[in-house]
């Protein structure tokens, strides 16, 4: 064999690929990004007990794809979910109405693959999950943003956009909503507004795609029924996750959907099943422990949110504006209009502070340009305080705000 120059893959790459990834260089020292959770709240002992019990009882079934539960996932986990969804979200469904997936991201991919083609239009909340927006962009699908208020998606705006599209002969493929602990704003859509949304869905023949993956993390412990639960017509696809309630590195989410959608998504789920051990452990742990674990988790998250809001007050003073979210793991913050959070993101990262710049979480890049998302579940209380101080220092150097006196002002006030 002759020696040869390195093989060149470039001529083989099709058009339209995303930019190549950079080498991973580790987590930021102060990380306020990603859906990471509080390491001290992972129920390690409970998971150990669960995995011992379930492996000793059923470990041999790991020899079979799908654990002899079929392509919709481990049946005991689906049975836990039917009880949990009934109790928490008012959803009456059977185990056969549920499909376990590899995190709610796979749910997004399956729903999109079933309904979307390039050139299609979908309606989304104007501020919404970055991973949903990036998927739609990659698919060549137009995401039309519907403005939000403190109660989530505005129904007057939704009605106007639906009517406008109907006049133009365009049927949007779905209305994507995160109604319970909206990402990134943290609002909860009231029950009456959910009913309005369903009526518009029926009227225009556009299904609702309900992403409920933060819905377990409500400070009050109470939430409205899921949109899925309220629907009189069945035109709702409901998605949830164990990432926020137990641990994100366990890649387990689920879809509840009518069989017409489910049978199409199953045909597209060609991964030979989602991870079985993670499904087994979750079923074994959650059946006895979920209802007591979650309130403990949310109390800890609420305390971290308080630390974050105090740190922002102390470091940014009146330069940082935000609403107190009703649950979740993130805070949506407005800085003064002239701050460009895409630039702030770069400078902060260089200083060891990772943030989510607003434009990545909105269809309105102008509106979101001075906004950012801060995730507070993963850093410790001390890291939150130090990281926000470091962020304020970077922001002051780059944009002149907060003024140096903010800290003193705030202290004088309190």
Rounded distance, CA 280 to CA 303, Å?
Answer: 31
Q: By C-beta, is 281 or 335 nearer to a copy of itself?
A: 281
Within 254-313, which residues bind a copy of itself (CB under 8 A)?
Answer: 258, 260-261, 263-264, 266-268, 270-278, 281
Q: Which of 3, 337, 413, 414 binds a copy of itself (CB under 8 A)?
A: 3
SS3 content of the chain, % helix, strand, coil (to 5): 50, 15, 40
- Given a contact cutoff of 8 angstroms between Cβ atoms, the answer to whether 103 and 253 are in contact is yes
Helix runs in 179-325, H state only? 191-204, 227-230, 259-268, 276-316
Rounded distance, CA 183 to CA 177, Å?
Answer: 9
Q: By C-beta, is 66 or 369 nearer to a copy of itself?
A: 66
Q: Which of 78, 84, 135, 293 binds a copy of itself (CB under 8 A)?
A: 135
Report, in Å, the least distance between residue 179 CB and a copy of itself: 16
Report, in Å, the least distance between residue 367 CB and a copy of itself: 25
Using CB under 8 A as the binding rule, whether residue 247 contacts a copy of itself is answered as: yes
Query: Which residues is 127 bridged to in the sheet?
Result: 362
Q: Which of 250, 301, 331, 374 binds a copy of itself (CB under 8 A)?
A: 250
Report, in Å, the least distance between residue 336 CB and a copy of itself: 32
Q: Which of 248, 327, 379, 402 binds a copy of itself (CB under 8 A)?
A: 248
Within 186-245, which residues bind a copy of itself (CB under 8 A)?
Answer: 195, 198-199, 201-202, 205, 207, 230-235
Q: Which of 98, 115, 239, 344 binds a copy of itself (CB under 8 A)?
A: 115
In the stretch 22-61, what mask flags binding to a copy of itself with x, by CB under 8 A? xxx-xx------xxxxxxxxx-x--xx--xx--xx--xxx
Rounded distance, CA 106 to CA 268, Å?
Answer: 11
How many residues lie near a copy of itself (CB under 8 A)? Answer: 109
Rounded distance, CA 185 to CA 152, Å?
Answer: 8
Q: By C-beta, is 14 or 366 nearer to a copy of itself?
A: 14
Token couple for 359: 């434009």
- How many other CB atoms are found less than 10 A from the CB of residue 124? 24
- Given a contact cutoff of 8 angstroms between Cβ atoms, the answer to whether 206 and 161 are in contact is no
Dihedral angle of Cα 147, 148, 152, 157, to the nearest 10 degrees: -40
Within 58-87, which residues bind a copy of itself (CB under 8 A)?
Answer: 59-68, 70-72
Using CB under 8 A as the binding rule, whether residue 173 contacts a copy of itself is answered as: yes
How many Cα atoms within 13 Å fall on the side-chain side of residue 403? 6
Stretch that binds a copy of itself, among 112-120, 147-155, 303-311, 334-342 (CB under 8 A): 112-120
Report, in Å, the least distance between residue 219 CB and a copy of itself: 20
Report, in Å, the least distance between residue 274 CB and a copy of itself: 7
Close Cβ partners of 265 (under 8 Å, ≥ 6 residues apart): 99, 110, 111, 113, 114, 255, 257
Q: By C-beta, is 113 or 342 nearer to a copy of itself?
A: 113
Within 317-356, which residues bind a copy of itself (CB under 8 A)?
Answer: none
Within 378-397, which residues bind a copy of itself (CB under 8 A)?
Answer: 378
Token couple for 88: 């928490």
Using CB under 8 A as the binding rule, whether residue 140 contacts a copy of itself is answered as: no
Query: Which residues is 239 bridged to in the sheet?
Result: 211, 255
Rounded distance, CA 389 to CA 393, Å?
Answer: 6
Rounded distance, CA 158 to CA 247, Å?
Answer: 34
Report, in Å, the least distance between residue 162 CB and a copy of itself: 14
Report, in Å, the least distance between residue 233 CB and a copy of itself: 4
β 152-153/175-177 pair status: unpaired
């Amino acid at each position: 064999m002759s020696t040869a120059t390195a093989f060149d893959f470039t001529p083989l790459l099709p058009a339209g690929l995303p930019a190549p990834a950079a080498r991973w260089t580790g987590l930021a020292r102060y990380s306020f990004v990603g859906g990471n959770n509080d390491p001290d709240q992972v129920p390690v002992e409970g998971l150990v007990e669960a995995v011992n019990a379930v492996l000793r009882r059923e470990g041999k079934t790991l020899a079979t794809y799908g654990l002899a539960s079929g392509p919709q996932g481990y049946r005991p986990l689906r049975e836990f979910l039917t009880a949990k969804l009934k109790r928490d979200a008012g959803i009456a469904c059977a185990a056969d109405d549920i499909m376990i997936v590899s995190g709610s991201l796979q749910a997004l991919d399956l729903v999109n693959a079933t309904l979307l083609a390039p050139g299609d239009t979908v309606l989304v909340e104007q501020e919404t999950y970055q991973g949903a927006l990036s998927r739609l962009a990659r698919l060549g699908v137009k995401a039309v943003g519907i403005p939000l208020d403190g109660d989530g998606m505005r129904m007057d705006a939704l009605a106007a956009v639906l009517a406008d599209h109907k006049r133009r002969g365009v049927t949007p493929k779905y209305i994507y909503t995160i109604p319970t602990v909206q990402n990134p704003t943290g609002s909860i859509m009231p029950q009456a507004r959910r009913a309005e949304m369903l009526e518009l869905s029926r009227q225009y023949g556009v299904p609702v795609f309900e992403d409920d993956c933060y819905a377990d993390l409500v400070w009050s412990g109470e939430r409205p029924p899921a949109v899925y639960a309220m629907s009189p017509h069945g035109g709702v696809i409901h998605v949830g996750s164990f990432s926020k309630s137990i641990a994100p590195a366990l890649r387990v989410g689920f879809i509840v959907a009518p069989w017409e959608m489910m049978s199409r998504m199953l045909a597209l789920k060609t991964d030979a099943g989602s991870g079985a051990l993670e499904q087994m452990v979750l079923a074994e742990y959650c059946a006895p422990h979920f209802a007591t674990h979650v309130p403990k988790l949310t109390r800890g998250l609420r305390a971290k949110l308080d630390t974050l809001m105090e740190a922002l007050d102390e470091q940014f003073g009146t330069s940082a504006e935000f609403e107190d979210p009703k649950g979740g793991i993130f805070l949506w913050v407005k800085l003064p209009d002239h701050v460009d959070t895409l630039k702030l993101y770069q400078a902060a990262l260089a200083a060891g502070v990772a943030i989510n710049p607003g434009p990545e979480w909105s269809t309105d890049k102008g509106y979101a340009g001075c906004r950012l998302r801060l995730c507070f579940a993963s850093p410790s209380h001390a890291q939150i305080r130090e990281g926000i101080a470091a962020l304020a220092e970077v922001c002051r150097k780059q944009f002149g705000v907060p003024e140096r006196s903010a800290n003193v002002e705030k202290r004088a006030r309190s």
